[in-house]
Structure 1
Amino acid sequence: MVTDPRTLADVSEGALLAEIFPLLQGGPRMPVGPGDDAAVLATGPASVVTTDSMVRGLDWLDEWSTPADVATKLLTQNLADVAAMGATPTAVLVSLMADPQVPVEWVLEFARGLGESARLSGPQGVAVAGGDLSSAPPGVLVLSMTAFGDLDGREPVLRSGARPGDVVTVYGTLGRSGAGLAMLLAGADPGSQPPGIRAECIAHHLRPVAPIPEGAHAADAGATSMIDISDGLLRDGHRIAAASGVRLALTTEGLEPHVRSIAGAVGDDALEQVLTGGEEHSLLATFAGEPPRGWWPIGRVEEGDGVTLDGEPQQPRGWDHFSG
C-alpha cells in the first residue's frame, strides 16, 4: 500500500538525502559520515575494496522483490566478496540512478532496509558512508555499491593459492537461491508459500544470507584459496582452478546433503541447481589440512585443470551477465 504519493521529481536532492541519512548505519570506523564531499574511514594498513551493481528488470523484478529485499541482496553480494578475501567488512558507499518518476517511498524503504541490514552485518555492523544520487531515463532504476574491508594485519586469501592435495570445502548452502529463482520463474507467489523448503529457497533468492564472518576465520585457519559463490559452484570453481593452475575434483558424495536439502523444492533438478545456481553467496575455499568446523568437504584439489564431478569434466556452467 502506497502511503507516500511523492516521486523523486517532487523533491530536491538535498531534501531526499535529509530523509535518507537518518536511516543508515554509522560506526566507529567512520569518524566523518555522509554530508561532506566525502566520508572519512579509519582503515587498517591494508584494505579490501569491491563494487557491484543491480539493475531493475535484470537483477530483480518489483513483482517479487521489495525495496528492502533489493537492499539486502545488494549489500550481501558486496560483503560476501570482501569476506572471500579474508577481510572484515567495514563500510559501503551506495549510488542510485533513477527515473525521476520512481516513488520517494521506494527509495526510503530501500534506505531503511539497507540501514537495518548493515546494522546486523557483524558485531559492529557496517557503516554506510554515503554515495551518490543521479537521474536516469524513463523506467531505469540502477543501484551500485562499493564495499570496503579490513584485513586486520592478515594476508588476503586469493583464488590462486590452491595446491594439489588441498581439501575443497564450502561454508553455507548450495543451490537454494537458484531453486528459489526457478520457482519464481515458474509462477510461485513469494507471499503465499507455507513454511518449508520451498519458502526457504525463495527467501534465499530474495534476501540471500552469506557467512560473512567466516571469511576472516578461514583466513586465520590457513585457507589457501577462497571465492564467493555468486555465479554458481561450477563457474566459480573453474575460477579457482584457472587462477591456481589445478583441478577441483568434486564428488557427488560430498554434494549429496546439499542436493537432498533442496530436492523437495525442485525435484530431479536439485543436483543441477547445486552445481550451477547463482547468487548463493556461500564461500568456497581450499585448505591444506583438516578444514575448520563448519566447512563441509566436497572434493579435493588435483594436478590438472578445470572441475570434475566423480571424475567427469564439467563445463563452467552457471550465471554469466552477458550470455545468461
Structure 2
Amino acid sequence: MTVGDLGEFGVVNRITGRLPQGAAVMLGPGDDAAVIGASDGRVVVSTDVLIERRHFRRDWSSGYDVGRKAAAQNLSDVAAMGAVPTAVVVGLGIPADLPLAWLDDLTDGFRDECAVVGASVAGGDVTKCDLVVIGVTALGDLRGRAPVKRSGARPGQVVAVAGRLGYAAAGWALLESGVPIGPVLEEAVAAHRRPAPPYAMGPEAAELGASAMLDVSDGLLQDLGHIAEASGVRVELDPRAFTVGEPVAVAAKELGADPLEWVLTGGEDHALAAVFPPDVRLPPSWQVVGRVVEGEGVVVHGREIGRRGWDHFR
C-alpha cells in the first residue's frame, strides 16, 4: 500500500498511532496545536528542513535512517543551548506513491531518536509533494539555566569538543565513490545515515560553566567562525589535539583523502563545540582542541583558514 491509498487523514492517524507522548506533552496530536510544558516558563525553539536529494537519498538511507537523522539534527541544536529537548513537531511533504512501509519506518525513526532524550513527537502536518520534504521544529527546557549563546567566548578561554568529527563526511564520500563498504567503513557510512549527537553533553557543558556553545552541523571551522564573529574573538586550533577515528582514517586511505580535512570541515556529525574558562576540569567526554585569543576568525596551527564547510548557496 501507498500513502495515496490511505488519504490524508488516514496517513495522519497512522503516524500518530505510532507515537507515544512523554511527560512534557500536556496536549498531544488531535487538536489544532499541541501544548508543551516548560518547568521555568521559557521554551528553547529550533527548526530545520530536510529535502530529498539534497539532505538525504532514499537509495542510500532507509525511512528509519531519515527519521533518526531529521530528529537528531534538531534535538542537537536544543542541546547546544544547554537545554533538555522535550518535543518536536513535524511538517511532512510526501509523494502519493510513497510506500506505507517507508512512512512507518520514518515515523519509527523519529520516535526512537526522540526517545533517546525523553522527547516526544507532539504533532505536525502532512501534505502531498513530489519529493519527501521534512520540516522539524524542536522544543527544549532550560530548567533554570541561562541559555549558552555563541557570543560568550572571551580571550584566555579554551575550546573543547564532544562527540565525533569527520565520520559523516567520510561516510558521504564513501557512498559517493561507490567503493565496497567493509565492516570498519560501515561505521562511517552509518554516521552519515544516522548521526549520534552527544545530547547529554549540552546541559553538562552549561553546568560546567560553558560561556559559548554550538552544534557542529556545517563543519567545525565554519561553525567556530560563528562563535568567533559573535564574540569578537579569534579561535586558535591545534591540529595535534584532534583524534581521527579509525573508520575516518581507513576511509581516507581508501579514497586518497586527508582525514584531518574531514574532521575540521565535515558536517552532519552534530558534535558539540564549546568554550570554557581555562581552570575548569573537564570530564573525558570533552576534548580540548584550542584556545580563544584576541583577534578575529579561526586559525589552525597559526595559519589563517577561511570558513570551510557546508553552505547551501555556495
Q: Place the TM-score, normalised by the shorter chain, in its bin.
A: over 0.9
Q: Distance in 2 between matches of 1:316 and 1:85?
A: 22
1:248 pairs with 2:235 = yes
2:175 to 184, 188, 208: 184
1:163 pairs with 2:158 = no
Residue segments in structure 1 that go unaligned for 5+ positions in a row: 1-5
Q: What is the match of residue 266 of structure 1? A: 252
Closer, same or farther in 2 for the Cα pair 1:265/1:284, shift >3 Å?
same
2:182 to 186, 190, 194: 194
TM-score, with length taken from structure 1: 0.92
1:208 pairs with 2:195 = yes
User: What is the Cα deviation at residue 242 of structure 1?
Assistant: 0.4
Counterpart contact for 1:169–1:291, Cα < 8 Å: no
1:43 pairs with 2:38 = yes
What per-residue deviation string (whole Å, max 9, x for no partner) do you get for residues 114-150 of structure 1?
112222x22xx111101001112xx321011000000
4+ long deviations beyond 4 Å: none
What per-residue deviation string (whole Å, max 9, x for no partner) do you get for residues 26-68 of structure 1?
1011121101111111113111000011101111111110000
Any residues of structure 2 matched to 1:85-96 within 5 Å, and which?
85-96=81-92
Any residues of structure 2 matched to 1:276-315 within 5 Å, and which?
276-289=265-278, 290-293=280-283, 294-315=285-306
Counterpart contact for 1:25–1:116, Cα < 8 Å: no
Q: CA RMSD in A?
A: 1.4
SS across alignment from 1:183 = helix
Structure 1 window deviating more from structure 2 (108-117 vs 142-151): it is: 108-117
Q: What is the match of residue 131 of structure 1? A: 124
SS across alignment from 2:168 = helix
Counterpart contact for 2:188–2:247, Cα < 8 Å: no
What per-residue deviation string (whole Å, max 9, x for no partner) do you get for residues 256-298 of structure 1?
x236662112134201101110101000001013352021010
Q: Identity rate of aligned residues, in percent?
A: 44
Counterpart of 2:235 in structure 1: which amino acid? Answer: L
Q: Distance in 1 between matches of 2:247 and 2:100?
A: 40
1:23 pairs with 2:9 = no
Residue segments in structure 2 that go unaligned for 5+ positions in a row: none
Closer, same or farther in 2 for the Cα pair 1:60/1:188, shift >3 Å?
farther
Counterpart contact for 1:55–1:142, Cα < 8 Å: yes
User: What is the Cα deviation at residue 156 of structure 1?
Assistant: 0.2
User: What is the Cα deviation at residue 103 of structure 1?
Assistant: 2.0
Q: What is the match of residue 99 of structure 1? A: 95
Q: Distance in 1 between matches of 2:4 and 2:186?
A: 37
SS across alignment from 2:252 = helix
Report the count of equivalent residues: 308
Structure 1 window deviating more from structure 2 (9-18 vs 297-306): it is: 9-18
Q: Distance in 1 between matches of 2:26 and 2:179?
A: 45
TM-score, with length taken from structure 2: 0.95
